[in-house]
Structure 1
Amino acid sequence: MFSKSSKAVYTVSRLNREIRTLLEQGFASLILTGEISNFITPASGHWYFSLKDDKAQIKAAMWRGNNRNQSYHPANGAQVTVKARVSLYEPRGDYQLIVEHMEPAGEGQLKQEFDALKMRLAAEGLFSSVHKQPLPQNINRIGVITSATGAAIKDILTVLKRRAPQLEVIIYPAMVQGKEAHLHLINQIDLANARDEVDVLILGRGGGSLEDLWCFNHEQLARAIYKSELPIVSAVGHEIDTTISDYVADVRAATPSAAAELVSPNTQELHNKVTQLVNRLSNAFKHDIADKRALAMQLQHRLNLCHPRNQLNQKSQRLDELSIALQQAMRNRLYQQERALNNLTPRLMRQSPDKKLATANHMLAQLQARLKQAMQHQLQQANNNLAMQASRLDSVSPLNVLARGYSITKNEKNRVVKSISDVKKDDILVTELVDGAIHSRVVG
């Protein structure tokens, strides 16, 4: 049995409340990075999610007052950096983060911007093969837009010298990295089109990080490539690097060296390529027919699935599921409300005003009786005190002294004469008696 003198008796709510206070006071605002999971946005407008890494996770909440100013809207799987404070959700005892600000983490933001721009330009048709120009059959002069001192121009010139030394090369030097690089690239594309002195353009640079290649993901550059009258071969980075310029260009080469090979003819390679193309065309024709037949069957199957009857059946089934779920939720809610009402009724009865009113009336009667008794006591004391003071005042009254045969003599200055030295000849004196005053003159 527990000792009755024990002072450390906690309720669950008190324990959670004190733990929450310790957590919030013990940790200042933290900067964390992790992956979003279990992201939900209820009708309240708050965000609830988990922030995790490869070894652990923690629940988090971002209130509507903070997230409504966010330009970035997260999704499951996104890598983010958050500013948050540590807290505890008292009703469940869950340790959680209260997020105050959120932004994409590192390169993840650039990747998201890349994907968003890619989808938007694709929707506008900038990547469509309909708008792509084929490379000229006879190429005599090649324009290269890149850094004049980079590795890319060296690789391109080396390949062209080996494969087709007769070709002329015109270099349009431009910045290929930095905030203003896309403007340099656009100016050189416009310049090459204005001069119209080459048959094809190679646009590119060597490899690098996503930040290094970011100028080739600029929307203005993509639209300049799209509007170019000259066919453009994009050769940005290494084989694994992909940019918006690659998608919108007429031809994409894996590397600058590969771009040089694409635009430079080779007699033996051309012969072999023609033979390969004939074979590929024949095989492609056969495969295309097979693919078209398979596609026709798939479309027929999809058409059957999209029949209005099937759609109605599925919608009806979904409606039934939602109806059942709604009924169950209503029953659960009603049951919870009934339980809450049953719990509150005894408490309401205990808080009835009748008992409190009777107690208050009894206390009022007692206070009235005490007030009346106190007032009577105070009045009696005041009367006794008044009589005592009147008696004392009467005992020292000058009238009483005069009534016993005494008198008071004053001079013209209304000063009491106490000695014969206080008067001189011809002074006027006033002697007050109990029943009047006598005026006299000093004669000697």
Structure 2
Amino acid sequence: MTSSPDQPQPLRDVVRALKEWVERTGAIWVEGQVIQLKRRAGSTLHFLTLRDKLADVSVTVTIDTVTLDAAGPITEGTLVAAYVKATLYPGNGSLSFACRDLRPSGEGRLLAHLEQRKRALQAEGLFNPDLKKRLPFLPRQIGLVTARESAAERDVVENVRRRWPAAVVVPRYAAMQGTQAAEQVAEAVRWCDAQPEVDVIIIARGGGSLEDLLPFSDEGLARTVFACRTPVVSAIGHETDTPILDLVADWRASTPTDAAKRVVPDAAEEARIIGVGLDRLRAAITQRVRSEQQGLDAVRSRPVLRDPSGAVVLASERVAELRGRLGRGVRQAVEREQVQLEANLLRVRSMSPRATLQRGYAILTTDDGRTVSSITDVEPDETIIARLIDGDIAAAVIDVEPHEHDHDKEHA
């Protein structure tokens, strides 16, 4: 393809020719670090930006959803191996790569495997928070699984003795890295779990690289810790990545020192808390006694308690007053009844036959005792009895004459 200032080639032809030349290259595996990942919601095509580990070289890579998801957990900063094919977009002349396969590389590969293992164990329930055992407040013995004469052992022992001097640490040594580490640590954990006096187990190591900590993501070790009857504390001392042991243990400590603080209380702090509690208890008791004494004094100051006989005197005076009122009431009632009785007697006496006789009247009866109240009750020559105030008079009826005015009234 020839060109000159007088006969330049069309840009479209140049870009098309470059596209054909670029796309004649085959696919190739390349290594790079993911520095940017753009997932487009609702789209099946996403974008990665890969950068060389050493040189300042970066390219854009397109990848579909299936390939990206199959690669496992890919995040920014992950080192990957990508199977890519170069392509050129004619619209803007930009060079891009289409990714046909993507796999974590180096630590990324290890992390991907660990992530898959974590998901499997989590699905089985080994990380279930509801199954975590509580740490004892004051363990009788502390099982310590660590390397012999390691800094982690020294940190745990010294901090435990400083916080609670009477605490007993039972060490069980094992390799803390290498191919035999996982099995030795698991064996040491099983031994500690079999001791009846061991109330808590600490697995301690002073951190390390991802490769150094791989034994603590071993599936066999995880299942051993999960099966323990004794609470297990993971004190691996690595903050960047989380070994599986941290997830399956009953408690995760950031460092061996932190583990010692978790398993035993601080004697000085506990003494201070007890002292504060005793002071508060004494103050509460003193205040209660003072309050009750004030109440007792108030009760004792009442007149009835100062002079108990005062109530009796008041009651006696009240009884005497009521008795006087009752006596006066009875006398007045008797006097009223006496007056009324005398008046009634006078009326009765004034109406009695004796009073009538005393006025000169007489009561007439026949010989057989029948009262004579009319002239029709007797006949001439019949004997009648006249009863006077001082005796009886027997008389004979000579004649019977009716009163004229009575006779006239009958005929009126």
Alignment CA distance shift 1:76-1:181 (3 Å): closer
Paired-residue identity, %: 30
Residues 27 and 83 of structure 2 are in contact (CA less than 8 Å); yes or no, is this contact kept in structure 1? no
Matches of 2:18 and 2:273 in 1, distance apart? 75
Q: Secondary structure in 2 aligned to 1:262? A: helix
Mark the CA change 1:272 to 1:109 in structure 2 (over 3 Å): closer, same or farther: farther
Letter in 2 for 1:72: A
Q: How does 1:156-235 map to 2 (within 5 A)?
A: 156-235=156-235
Using the alignment, how far apart are the partners of 2:88 and 2:248 within structure 1? 51
Deviation at 1:42, TM superposition (A): 9.3
Alpha carbons of 1:194 and 1:269: their partners in 2 closer, same or farther (altered >3 Å)?
A: same
- How far residue 250 of structure 1 moved from its aligned partner, in angstroms, is 1.9
1:379-403 C-alpha deviation (Å, 9 max, x unpaired): xxxxxxxxxxxxxxxxxxxxxxxxx
Deviation at 1:8, TM superposition (A): 5.4
**Is residue 50–residue 59 contact of structure 2 (8 Å, CA) maintained in 1?**
yes
Which one-letter code corresponds to 1:141 in the other structure? Q
More off after superposition, 156-165 vs 103-112: 103-112
CA distance in 2, matches of 1:88, 1:204: 54
Deviation at 1:145, TM superposition (A): 0.7
Q: Which has a greater percent of helix?
A: 1
> Where does residue 47 of structure 2 map in the other structure?
49
Aligned pair in 2 of structure 1 residues 4, 121: CA closer, same or farther (>3 Å)? closer
Pairing of 1:238-387 with structure 2 (within 5 A): 242-272=242-272
1:174-207 Cα deviation digits (max 9, x unpaired): 1222344222222221222234452221112002
TM score, norm. by length of structure 1:
0.50
Residues 1:60 and 2:50 aligned together: no
TM-score, normalized by length of structure 2?
Answer: 0.53
Q: Is the 8 A contact 2:144 2:171 kept in 1?
A: yes
Segment of structure 1 superposing worse, 80-89 or 153-162: 80-89
Gaps spanning 5+ residues in structure 2: where?
278-412
Deviations 1:394-442 (A, max 9, x none): xxxxxxxxxxxxxxxxxxxxxxxxxxxxxxxxxxxxxxxxxxxxxxxxx
Cα deviation, residue 237, structure 1: 0.9
Quick check: 1:234–1:246 contact (8 Å CA) kept in 2? yes
Which residue of structure 2 lines up, in the alignment, with residue 15 of structure 1?
Answer: 14
Q: Amino acid of the residue matched to residue 18 of structure 2?
A: I
The 1:67–1:50 alpha-carbon spacing in structure 2 relative to 1, beyond 3 Å, is: closer
Look up the SS of the partner of 1:185 in the other structure: helix
Distance 1:92 1:267 in 2: 73
Rg: which structure is higher?
A: 2
TM-superposed deviation, 1:16? 2.2
Query: Cα–Cα, structure 1 residues 237 and 276, in superposed 2: closer, same or farther, change >3 Å?
Result: farther
Q: How does 1:25-44 map to 2 (within 5 A)?
A: 29=28, 30-39=30-39
Aligned to 1:391: none
* Unaligned segments of structure 1, at least 5 residues: 278-444
8 Å CA contact 1:60–1:96 kept in 2: the answer is yes
In structure 1, distance between residues paired with 2:143 and 2:57: 54
